[in-house]
Copies of this chain bind each other. A is one copy, B any other.
Amino acid sequence: MSETVAEVGEFRLIERFTRHFATTPAVVLGPGDDAAVVTAPDGRVVACTDMLVEGNHFRRDWCSAADVGHKAAAANLADIAAMGARPTALLAAVAAPQDLPAEWLEGLASGLAAEAAAVGAAVIGGDTTRGELLTVTVTALGDLEGRDPVLRSGAKPGDVLALAGRIGWAAGGLNVLSRGFRSPGALVGAYRRPQPPYPAGRDAALMGARAMIDVSDGLLADVGHIADDSGVAIDVDTAALPVPEAMRNAAEALGADARGWLLTGGEDHALAAVFPPDVLLPEGWRRIGTVSEGAGVTVDGHRWTGPTGWDHFAKD
């Protein structure tokens, strides 16, 4: 029988949680003191935070503890990448029910650490506490390496909309899981462990991206944030967004709309960016639309009438 977090007790639990966290040269002081210390060579630090709640953002019967760690880390690391910054560190706070197996927390820690390590970052601190609803909050820090942050507000008429990374896969995977299936693995795996195109964020900043966003609420919703904040209209060209065959097959089998997954599904943590019209797009980026004067987002020149994305407080 696995011990529960209540049986292990807080101090031993913290030890079991933090021993999964490797260090990097940027870590001046890791977990174990009142706070951690990480280098900020640029003299500025980029920071964001994101909370995952069991039942709303993950289910323990759908995702392993390590999956949840990967997912929570990815959501934050992608936000740092979307500023054109290099992620340096994560902090993780967990509220755990007393009967949670302690090894679940260890799995979470290993997932957080592995996802951080994939971008050269480290988990430097955290908090574990009791809460009857399993909740994970991750904070990510990053370094701008001397560049300006790439905001949502810099798009100009005439610019080009581009995408890096995959979209629709996580939404498909969630759809598969919520119908009680466990395959196709390509979709389910994408939902469990998103693969944000981290280096594409920094590359876009280096190539002069004028606006950028992490696609976490769905392509149309997030491109809409760029349109709103920049005071421009953006048209998404679906000819540039073909539905992959595996996705189409899965959607057909489920009677679902693969194009809806592509356009409104979040959680793959793709990056959407706007570049000047004459840009040579960096590797991994493809042109998917255009920016013009006006307001709002259109799809192939028409108003989109389906849902645009995810409102975390919407009724079920």
Contact = CB atoms under 8 A, between A and B. Distances in A.
A141 B47 contact: yes
A43 B89 CA distance: 14
A147 B139 CA distance: 24
B89 A34 contact: no
Interface stretch (A2-10, A108-116, A156-164, A168-176): A2-10
A180 B182 CA distance: 51
B312 A129 contact: yes
Interface string A35-46: 111111111111
A40 B40 contact: yes
Interface in A229-286: 229
Contacts of A37: 44-47, 83, 144, 149
A94 interface: yes
Q: How many copies does the complex hold?
A: 2
Interface in A71-107: 79-80, 82-83, 85, 89, 91-96, 98
B314 A6 contact: yes
A125 B45 CA distance: 13
B311 A11 contact: yes
Interface string A278-311: 0000000000000000000000000000000001
A242 to B, nearest CB: 27
Given A6-B314, A95-B51, A141 B43 contact: no
Nearest to A142: B35
Given A83-B37, A144-B37, A48 B312 contact: no
Contacts of A149: 28-29, 33, 35, 37
A34 B212 CA distance: 9
Contact of A151 (B29, B91, B127, B214): B29
A178 interface: no
Contacts of A83: 33-35, 37
A185 interface: no
B34 A40 contact: no
Nearest to A48: B35
Contacts of A50: 93, 127
Contact of A48 (B9, B34, B56): B34
Nearest to A11: B311
Task: Sort A-B residue pairs by CB-CB distance and give the 4 closest, nearest first.
Answer: A40-B40, A35-B48, A137-B137, A53-B131
Given A9-B313, A51-B129, 9 more contacts: A6-B313, A6-B315, A8-B313, A35-B142, A35-B149, A49-B137, A51-B127, A51-B131, A91-B139
